[in-house]
Chain A
């Protein structure tokens, strides 16, 4: 195993995850990224997607919806507004949310709704794919 770094995922309610990881994958507004140790310092905005934490040979998944990430060479901090472990996700609800969002996008009536529906769709997708 190559170098590890300290990873911290914090939400307003609790410290979601704290430990050592070899790599972390997540989506940002600029696209999906995977970060190893000794990355250059960087701050990016999180987009809804799946968070994958590689601990040695284990991979832990979680649905990460919004927040931002601060990368330092030996330490990565994710300030998440909403993040959930797969066992906290209600598949039925997420599925329903996905269908509703897709329907709203198809109808495409008011312009303000589109952005919200797109975000809702992304969140639902993130939940579903974290669960798989």
Chain B
């Protein structure tokens, strides 16, 4: 029976695929632990930064600072954080879909971090302004600061009116949420109007305007840096889940194929036996 050999070959090929996905899962589990630790270590800085910014803005609501109002340009800029490598389930595609759904492709400049997202957005007709794909391999705070500088430059020159950041937030190992947040103009969520007495008397040296000038870029850098770290953790989490699924699918297929193979083998033996018995009968 020819199909016996076919089934065996198929089963072997799936087995080697399973080995690969198993290994990839292990690798991304280790990477996930590392990147999760990093992402958590950067949280205190980011949270404090957020508190400070919101307390400054809450106190000075009628401040007329350039970073607080939309720029003259209609153009929007979006920093799209994805990965350089695939095989991570819907990780990259979710970001592309999110950006494509929320922002008009004709009026949006993409600052891509991660090749997969860059290629995906290019196909959807977005203009790629800059490509920092190397950054995602090993995110540094310096990278975030450089990107911020370039974006703020574009904002001050009036080339960009609004700046967005798209990344995948890391909730836990199995849940990652693609998010699109507005970086500039700086907007704080209203509603949580906590009155803190201490901030009410805050003085700024030299003055609020200049403090904002200096803090807003740092705030943006910290947001981007935090997003980069979270995105790396999410990527590894997504890959781990995807590879885990692939491994269990492979296992299932191997099981089904083994059953088929054994049936075929049994069938072949039975047939052979029948033939021998029939031949012996014919002779006697």
Binding site for B on A (CB under 8 A): 8, 10-15, 28-30, 40-45, 67-68, 70, 72-73, 77, 79, 81
Contacts and interface: CB of A to CB of B under 8 A. Distances in A.
Contacts of B52: 43, 68, 70, 77, 79
Given A44-B211, A81-B218, A29 B206 contact: yes
Contacts of B202: 41-43
Contacts of B38: 13
Contacts of A11: 45, 141
Interface of B: 38, 41-42, 44-46, 48-49, 52, 56, 141, 144-145, 198-199, 201-206, 210-211, 214-215, 218, 221-222, 225-226
* Interface residue SS majority, chain A: strand
A13 B42 contact: yes
B199 A41 contact: yes
A42 B204 contact: yes
Contacts of A67: 218
B45 A10 contact: yes
* Interface residue SS majority, chain B: helix
A11 B222 CA distance: 10
Central interface residue in A43, A44, A79, by most chain B CB within 10 Å: A43
A35 to B, nearest CB: 12
A41 B198 contact: yes
Contacts of A42: 202-205
30 contacts: A10-B45, A10-B48, A11-B141, A12-B45, A12-B46, A12-B222, A12-B225, A12-B226, A13-B38, A13-B41, A14-B42, A29-B210, A29-B214, A40-B201, A41-B198, A41-B199, A41-B202, A41-B203, A42-B203, A43-B52, A43-B56, A43-B211, A44-B211, A68-B52, A68-B211, A68-B214, A73-B198, A79-B218, A81-B145, A81-B218
Given A29-B206, A41-B199, 17 more contacts: A10-B44, A11-B45, A12-B45, A13-B42, A13-B141, A14-B42, A15-B44, A41-B202, A41-B203, A42-B205, A43-B202, A43-B211, A45-B205, A45-B211, A67-B218, A68-B214, A70-B52
B141 A81 contact: yes
Contacts of A72: 198
B218 A44 contact: no
Contacts of A10: 44-45, 48
A82 B247 CA distance: 43
